[in-house]
Amino acid sequence: MRMIASLLCGLVFGAGLLISGMVQPTKVLGFLDIFGAWDPSLAVVMAAALAVSVPGFRLANGRSRPLLADQSFWPSKSQIDRPLIMGAALFGIGWGLVGLCPGPALESLATLSPGILVFVAAMAGGMTLHDYWQKPQPKLRNEAALAEADG
């Protein structure tokens, strides 16, 4: 059931990116290009997503546990630290270079476009590089380690 729920959520997420046009790098770059022919669509996407997720998360937070799992994994970090600032800054540069963030990049694998395949391989490489650089801690098992990520 948990697998089916995850699959359906991925499907709905993908439909949202598709309908909003955010799978198109040119559409995203149109938003980021505030000195050119600015396209505010991405701001509307975020505002609409928040209009649903703010009350939805409030509802989820009030429940003791999720419907199909034993516990919820709410991000635990609250500090604005150096890694957060550096990481967000680097991500933004990469995002601005081609107009692809992780969601649309993975979804675009469906097109089998060579450029997308190379981008996703490089993105996965960047993630792995980070994990190695962070000195792997063999004893730190999944949940504790992963709960550290915000999303």
Partner 1 sequence: MANFTPVSAAIGGGLIGLSAVLLMLLTGRIAGISGILGGLLDWRADDKDWRIAFIAGLILAPLMAGWMGYGMPTPKLPASWAVIIAAGLLVGFGTRLGGGCTSGHGICGVARLSARSIAATIIFMLTAIATVAVTHHLLGG
Cα dihedral 46, 52, 58, 64 in deg (nearest 10): -120
What is the total count of residues that contact partner 1 (CB under 8 A)? Answer: 129
User: Interface with partner 1 includes 12 (CB under 8 A)?
Assistant: yes
CB 72 within 8 A of CB 60: yes
Binding track, positions 88-107, relative to partner 1; x by CB under 8 A: xxxxxxxxxxx-xxxxxxxx
User: Interface with partner 1 includes 79 (CB under 8 A)?
Assistant: yes
Give residue for tokens 């939805």: 56
User: Interface with partner 1 includes 78 (CB under 8 A)?
Assistant: yes
CB 36 within 8 A of CB 26: no
CB of 74 to partner 1, least distance (A): 8
CA distances from 87 to 66, 81, 95, 133, 137 (A): 30, 10, 12, 13, 20
User: Interface with partner 1 includes 64 (CB under 8 A)?
Assistant: no
Q: Please, what is the end-to-end C-alpha distance for the chain in angstroms?
A: 22
CB of 144 to partner 1, least distance (A): 10
User: Interface with partner 1 includes 135 (CB under 8 A)?
Assistant: no
User: Interface with partner 1 includes 17 (CB under 8 A)?
Assistant: yes
Binding track, positions 25-54, relative to partner 1; x by CB under 8 A: xxx-xx-xxxxxxxxxxx-xxxxxxxxxxx
Give the span between the Cα atoms of 79 and 150, in whole angstroms: 11
Task: Report the chain's C-alpha Rg in angstroms.
Answer: 18
CB of 126 to partner 1, least distance (A): 2
CB of 47 to partner 1, least distance (A): 7
User: Interface with partner 1 includes 3 (CB under 8 A)?
Assistant: yes
